[in-house]
């Protein structure tokens, strides 16, 4: 069973690990596990819940779109109805030309939100058409920005963020993003350790020891951000669930 590290021990662990990892610019994603479950949308969104005036299937791809005539009141989400996720690996592709979106994971449905019926709170992998911003980790309706692209962060028991190292130069990592084209995300959560990869290159690394703020389990969802008209598309969504790392709850 994996031991969840806390306090100075985890800082030492991450720093010692960083000696080997940070020496290599732009750590890469592990090979894809065999037999990942495909969260296929098919011809409809029967396995998802959201505002179907904004979400649809087009050419086998999940598409979220707002227009001047068809807007959203607040950020809104398409929630996967396959249950909660704890320790897992998620892989998918996305493209966005303008606006802002995200991939929510280990999140909670905020059913009583005033904005709309499809609001969630939790970890969010940023999706936008801005190299250097896409790939960072945000906490929706929580602690805000957690880890910028290129950072290794340890959040301690008092919710303080500590920089434990870096994964490479932000500009070099950002250069791998393909503007207005398909890009690939890999998200891995094991215990309180969270990693995100964009086009095979690691963008963030988080060890979250904040007992009140961290997200240890929850749902998967896709975001449409409030604001000017936008669209975003997702495809090839697949997941592997890992045994519970145990320890922190």
Phi, psi values for residue 53, rounded to 5°:
-75, -15
Below-70 pLDDT ranges, the chain? 1-25, 41, 246-249
**Quick one: pLDDT at residue 62?**
97
Q: 118: exposed, middle or buried (C-beta count within 10 Å: 0-12, 13-18, 19+)?
A: buried
pTM of the model: 0.88
Instruction: Report the distance separating Cα 39 and Cα 170, nearest Å.
Output: 32
What DSSP assignment string belongs to 206-240?
EEE--TTT---SBEEEEEE-SSS-EEEEEEEEEEE
- The whole-number pLDDT of residue 42 equals 73
Sorted by where each begins, the domain ranges of the chain are 7-241
Q: How far does CA 33 lie from the centroid of its chain? A: 19
Is residue 120 classed exposed, middle or buried when 0-12, 13-18 and 19+ CB atoms within 10 A define those classes?
buried
Q: Tell me which CATH code domain 7-241 carries.
A: 2.60.120.560
**Beta-strand relationship, 201-208 and 151-155:** parallel
Task: Supply the pLDDT for residue 43.
Answer: 80
Closest CA to 50 of 35, 64, 67: 64
pLDDT value for 58: 87
């Amino acid at each position: 069973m994996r031991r969840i590290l806390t306090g100075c021990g985890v800082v030492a662990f991450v720093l010692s690990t960083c000696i080997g990892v940070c020496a290599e610019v732009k750590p890469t994603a592990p090979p894809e596990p065999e037999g990942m479950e495909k969260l296929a949308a098919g011809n409809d969104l029967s396995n998802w819940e959201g505002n179907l005036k904004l979400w649809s299937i087009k050419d086998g791809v999940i598409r979220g779109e707002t227009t001047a005539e068809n807007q959203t009141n607040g950020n809104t989400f398409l929630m996967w109805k396959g249950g909660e996720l704890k320790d897992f690996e998620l892989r998918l592709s996305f493209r966005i030309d303008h606006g802002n979106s995200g991939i929510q994971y280990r999140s909670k449905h905020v059913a009583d939100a005033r904005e709309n019926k499809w609001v969630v709170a939790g970890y969010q992998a940023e999706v936008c058409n801005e190299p250097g911003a896409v790939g960072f980790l945000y906490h929706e309706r929580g602690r805000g920005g957690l880890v910028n692209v290129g950072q290794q962060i340890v959040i301690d028991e008092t919710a303080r963020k500590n920089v434990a190292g870096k994964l490479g130069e932000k500009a070099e990592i950002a250069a791998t993003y393909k503007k207005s084209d398909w890009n690939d995300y890999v998200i891995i959560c094991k215990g309180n350790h969270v990693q995100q990869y964009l086009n095979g290159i690691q963008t963030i690394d988080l060890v979250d020891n904040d007992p009140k703020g961290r997200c240890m389990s929850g749902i998967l969802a896709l975001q449409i951000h409030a604001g000017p008209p936008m669209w975003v598309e997702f495809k090839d969504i697949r997941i592997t669930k890992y045994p519970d790392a145990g320890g922190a709850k």
